[in-house]
Amino acid sequence: MGSGPLGDHRFTGYRRRLIEEVRGRGIDDLEILQLFDQVPRHLFMPEGVWNRAYEDAPIPIGYHQTASQPSLQALFLSILKPRETERVLEIGTGSGFLTALLAGMAERVYSVERIRELSARARKALDDLGIMNVALLVGDGTIGWRKYAPYDVIVVSAASPSIPKAYVDQLADPGRMLIPIGSKDAQDLILVEKVGFAVTQQPVKAGCTFVPLLGRFAWKEEVPGGGE
Ligand code: SAH
């Protein structure tokens, strides 16, 4: 992963502090902590919030959306641990920061976002960093992305009232998925595992608050276009 001219040293201290915070929350996986060190999070944020890019907090990224809290993203990675031979489906590209981290671990990441401008900004940040193993799609991610299924790992970064059927269908066997399930105000993070045709679910973290998954098979809202 190249850092190029964008490896901005002004942020190195903040980045180190964030890594300490993530570690303080119990994530001690070196591969994950190293990724936090290598991927400059501010480049995935609008310039107006660069000064907050290394806080361990959700950050507004425009269009009524937020980038998820870094320690929560680290938790996602530590539970799912995508391997370098595996393919990942991400729903809710948002800033693209988690996309970049996933791309550092997996063979290839397929990421769907319903807001075109966010997808475009994520594309630019990924391109600027020379991260090549990511395919982005603009559309309704509640139908997954059938074209490249099945996926070894599925990561859903927006909250849903239930598990959209397409995700279970598009999950490889064996495969694993994390998705926040609940009301619009509070959700439990659910780990779904498929092994030998059996699908199991277990809560791994209670009381999360993600932005809603809006689309045909979650909370309804007219969305432009659709997945393939
Ligand atoms: N991991 C991202 C999370 C962004 S918030 C980050 O840290 O930046 C969740 C994202 O899901 C938002 O950008 C929102 O627009 C997107 N989203 C909501 N419903 C969606 C849908 N049906 N399909 C694709 N993306 C969706």
CATH of the domain at 21: 3.40.50.150
Q: Ligand 1 centre and the CA of 75: distance in Å?
A: 18
pLDDT digits (tens, 9 = 90+) for 145-155: 999 999 999 99
Cα-Cα-Cα-Cα torsion 106, 77, 59, 130, nearest 10 degrees, comes to: -20
Task: For a ligand 1 pocket test, name from 54, 163, 213 the mutation site with the most ligand atoms within 8 angstroms of its C-beta.
Answer: 213
Instruction: Find out whether the peptide bond into 150 is cis, omega within 30 degrees of 0.
Output: yes
For residue 112, give its domain range: 9-208
In angstroms, how far is CA 104 from the centroid of its own chain?
A: 12
Domain presence at residue 221: no
Distance, CA of 89 to CA of 109 (rounded, Å): 6
Closest ligand 1 atom to Cα of 92: 11
The predicted structure's pLDDT at residue 10: 82
pLDDT average per 10 residues of sequence, the chain (228 residues)? 56 94 96 96 96 96 96 97 98 98 98 98 98 98 98 98 98 98 97 96 96 96 53
Q: How many domains does the chain have?
A: 1
Question: Considering the entire predicted model, what is its pTM?
Answer: 0.94
* Residues noted as catalytic: 68
Task: For a ligand 1 pocket test, name from 109, 214, 216 the mutation site with the most ligand atoms within 8 angstroms of its C-beta.
Answer: 214
Please state, in angstroms and as integers, the Cα–Cα distance from residue 188 to each residue in 58, 170, 175, 203, 213, following that order.
Answer: 17, 22, 20, 6, 14
In angstroms, how far is CA 84 from the centroid of its own chain?
A: 17
Q: Ligand 1 centre and the CA of 217: distance in Å?
A: 14
The predicted structure's pLDDT at residue 175: 98
The predicted structure's pLDDT at residue 221: 77
Domain presence at residue 124: yes
pLDDT digits (tens, 9 = 90+) for 101-126: 999 999 999 999 999 999 999 999 99
